[in-house]
Structure 1
Amino acid sequence: MVRGNVRARRAKISQKKRRQWSAREKLMVIAYYEQGYSKRSTAAKFEIEPKQLRDWLKNKDQLMIVAPYIQKLVKGARPKYQQLETELIEWFRDSRRQLKTISRYMIQAKACSLAKKPLYQRVYPDIREAKFSQNWVDGFMYRNNLVNRKKTTIARRLPDDYIEQQNQFLSYVLFRRTEHQYPLSLIANMDETPMAFNLPSNTTLEHRGTKSVAILSTGHERANFTVVLACMANGEKLPPVIIFNLVNIPREDFPDGVIVRANPNGWMNEEEMTWWIENIWTQRAKQGSNPRSLLVLDSFSVHKTDAIKRRFHRKNTDLAIIPGGLTSRLQPIDVSLNKSFKAKMRHLYDHWMNEAIKEYTPSGKIKRPSYSLVANWVKESWDAIDTNLIIRSFKCCGVSNAMDGTEDDLIFNFNKVQKINNKGRGIEANDEIHEESSNSDYEPDDNGSDDSDNSGCESDDDYYNKNENRNVLQDWN
């Protein structure tokens, strides 16, 4: 019995020993010992080994001068490329003094750039083979007491009856797929994404304990434009469309593969939607015909006008309208693609803010990036989206899963999509984990005038008939 108690006490001490004690906690233990208690009784009181107490007493002078949260006085072995890291941390501090955003990726890229200097190649002959991996970035941040800081966001609240609504939506999609047997190349999703010319990241590396974290911006927060993204369930991407808040399209050299439009409001309206159907959506089939297709759209009122429904009907397109407030669960682009797309856009913006020589307005503001530069960012960001991520997003939303039920485990399994989105802790991992719904500005009429009363029970046939009225029109002539 006594032996068992000793084993339990040793196990408890071992577990206590494994945890890291801060400098403040260590000084608290030392203060208790200095009240006249023995080392053994003090160690038993705080469930530590006597050797730990001896080490803390030995380093008491250092513990008195370090920050209270410090857990280790010795941060390990010296860095392999000491001089390079010294210049790198100076670059970091100088950038942060200018309120520039610094990410893990930028630290890694800057280290690779510094490694090409002849000075460091003479001092460190093996630096040519250095890869400066994510583990190296972890060590650099730990050695220099850097952490990733970000602002908090409030997630949108789902409707109270969201489970019933999402089940009805998925039932309608399954009904349509069973009826028409669409191939994955003809199941699509389109979404309008509001963007701003001022795209600072919400996160930056900063020294631990910094009270205020500011980020430099151009000051053009209200200068907005719209990006229209569309993709197919097989991973194919349709050309992105940019709608600028202009009367005419600017005379600049825009990249191929991006369509530029202009209207006085800078967002999607019925005229722009009609243009998108005729010029982008009709290209979904290479043969130039209009094969039977399924298009998932959110509840933006422009998507539900009679004229738009008729035009989609002429293109042999069945619409599946996502119930208002559920785009964060049922719209593939909104579930994960927008987050990855915007993260890449912010990375390009941050690089431009840090590296490019910028012009200033007469009032002293940084001139916003040109329309052609933004178009290049949109193209590069959209091209960088992983095809596998698109395929998984459709399955995660329950839109393209196998109809025999073998892929039902993927529905609402956001973890699998997140792993694809953040693999390698690249650019996407530096963005917010919970992005606000990107089409919040596009849902002024979530409920719609043509939604019927949901009270009482309804049969499957009643539901499908109701959605026929909501998604397509019956009388076309």
Structure 2
Amino acid sequence: QRSYTTAEKLKVVRYAQAHGNRAASHEFDDIAESNIRLWRRQKEHLQALPRMKMAKRGKGAAYPELEAKLNEWIEERRQQGSGVSIAEVRMKALTIAKTCTNIARFKASYGWGDQFMNRHGLLVRHQTTIVQKLPMVSDTKLLQFQKFIVKLHKHHCYDLSLIGNADQTPLNFDNPYDRTLEVKVMLACMANRTKLPPYIVFKHKTMPKNVIFPNTVHVHVHPKSWIDEALMLDWLQTRTPFTMDAFWCHCMPSIKKRRQQDKTDLAIIPGGMTKMLQPLDVTVNNPMKDALCRKWKTWLLEGEHIYYGGCMQTSTLQDVTQWIGDVWLELDPTIRKGFLKCSIFNTMDGSEDDALW
């Protein structure tokens, strides 16, 4: 038994209207006349469906009122230009369910979320950006940078604990009701897989009071969540990274002067080549962001939440710093892999030098 698309059904209906149901049955591979009669009754409904849509299968909505309100909320978010994740859809569904008197024991499970998306023709797409083009002389710059690193390593005989990489990465923790917690994190790791405590900067004017942060991270604030010159100098007091990208703050005269005072060689990665030469960018940042996203979704769907005026309280600064600290401790294998891929201290042909390990 085969299924027919909307376009095929409408073609059969038009033929049946012109020549009769029996003639249409013989013309189109002996389709049952009962089906043809059904399709003729459904003609207006079929005309409103996508042409390639197949037969409608599966159960209908168990809570049509809830889904109607949820669909309206999604449409409002779209008009505002805001993206919506499946986790947010499920969380909002739980909130709406509390306002409906005829809904009990509604869990907004993963399966329900998928079925809701299918019923309403919704898709989740990742935001895409224009791929950064490599410089025309990228091969030459790549080779020059790696030779520079190898030359310094051979001349000074650096221990692996003194060769490192530092990078700033932004983090956003979205919540329903258009609230976003903006965070900037400075990560640093050494070639011997030692990880320095994350340097976290929240978008705040003053340091929060009565908040106890975990001792595995360093927390600061900035009105725009930037790591500016002052914070960069503060970060340098206890850290000695070896390679950084060409971010303007890393190249300021005060930063270079401080590195000279510390007798530390600073290697600036050429612009546009961090995806090839920066270990944190190559193997660490994306896995860390994915792990933090899983932590946030678990808290969003399974955590105990407090509501004020019907709106859920956002994740606290203490929650976020704890997530960052926990995830950072779990990334040992990716750090080693990143240094090897970028040829920061291994042989020029890309093979691993076991003596270094």
TM score, norm. by length of structure 2: 0.64
Aligned with residue 321 of structure 1, among 251, 268, 272: 268
Matched residue, 1:60: 39
Matched residue, 1:188: 164
Matched residue, 1:334: 281
What SS does structure 1 have at the residue aligned with 2:242?
A: strand
Q: Are 1:250 and 2:225 an aligned pair?
A: no
Deviations 1:428-460 (A, max 9, x none): xxxxxxxxxxxxxxxxxxxxxxxxxxxxxxxxx
The verdict on how the C-alpha distance between 1:73 and 1:299 changes in structure 2, with shifts beyond 3 A counting, is same
Matched residue, 2:100: none
Confirm or deny: 8 A CA contact 1:188 1:295 kept in the other structure: yes
- Provide the rounded CA distance (Å) in 1 between the counterparts of 2:69 and 2:340: 44
Equivalent position amino acid for 2:350 in 1: G
The verdict on how the C-alpha distance between 1:316 and 1:55 changes in structure 2, with shifts beyond 3 A counting, is farther
Equivalent position amino acid for 1:253 in 2: V
The verdict on how the C-alpha distance between 1:103 and 1:305 changes in structure 2, with shifts beyond 3 A counting, is closer
What SS does structure 2 have at the residue aligned with 1:229?
A: strand
The verdict on how the C-alpha distance between 1:74 and 1:264 changes in structure 2, with shifts beyond 3 A counting, is closer
Aligned length: 330
Q: Within 5 A, what are the aligned runs for 1:131-280?
A: 138=114, 141-142=117-118, 145-149=121-125, 151-177=127-153, 186-194=162-170, 199-200=173-174, 216-218=177-179, 226-233=184-191, 236-244=194-202, 249-256=207-214, 257-262=216-221, 266-279=225-238
Give the deviation of 1:65 after TM superposition.
Answer: 1.1
TM score, norm. by length of structure 1: 0.51
Equivalent position amino acid for 1:348 in 2: W
The verdict on how the C-alpha distance between 1:248 and 1:103 changes in structure 2, with shifts beyond 3 A counting, is closer
Q: Within 5 A, what are the aligned runs for 1:422-433?
A: none
The verdict on how the C-alpha distance between 1:377 and 1:86 changes in structure 2, with shifts beyond 3 A counting, is farther
Aligned with residue 320 of structure 2, among 377, 396, 409: 377
Structure 2: unaligned runs, 5 residues or longer = 98-103
- Provide the rounded CA distance (Å) in 2 between the counterparts of 1:68 and 1:302: 53
What SS does structure 2 have at the residue aligned with 1:60?
A: helix
Give the deviation of 1:380 after TM superposition.
Answer: 0.5
Confirm or deny: 8 A CA contact 1:258 1:375 kept in the other structure: no
Deviations 1:229-278 (A, max 9, x none): 22345654322223356665332313112212346775333432232122
What SS does structure 2 have at the residue aligned with 1:147?
A: coil
Confirm or deny: 8 A CA contact 1:229 1:241 kept in the other structure: yes
The verdict on how the C-alpha distance between 1:105 and 1:402 changes in structure 2, with shifts beyond 3 A counting, is farther
What SS does structure 1 have at the residue aligned with 2:124?
A: strand
Aligned with residue 71 of structure 1, among 53, 62, 67: 53
Confirm or deny: 8 A CA contact 1:30 1:53 kept in the other structure: no
Give the deviation of 1:168 after TM superposition.
Answer: 2.8
Equivalent position amino acid for 1:230 in 2: A
Aligned with residue 348 of structure 1, among 279, 296, 303: 296
Confirm or deny: 8 A CA contact 1:189 1:296 kept in the other structure: yes
Please tell me the root mean square deviation across aligned C-alpha atoms, in Å: 5.3
Deviations 1:366-421 (A, max 9, x none): 99969xx235314404533551444444444444666663479xxxxxxxxxxxxx
The verdict on how the C-alpha distance between 1:35 and 1:156 changes in structure 2, with shifts beyond 3 A counting, is farther
The verdict on how the C-alpha distance between 1:194 and 1:163 changes in structure 2, with shifts beyond 3 A counting, is same
Q: Within 5 A, what are the aligned runs for 1:387-466?
A: 387=331, 388-399=333-344, 405-406=350-351
Equivalent position amino acid for 1:376 in 2: D
Query: Which is bigger in relative contact order (C-alpha 8 A, separation at least 6)?
Result: 1
- Provide the rounded CA distance (Å) in 2 between the counterparts of 1:177 and 1:52: 78
The verdict on how the C-alpha distance between 1:60 and 1:369 changes in structure 2, with shifts beyond 3 A counting, is closer
Matched residue, 2:101: none
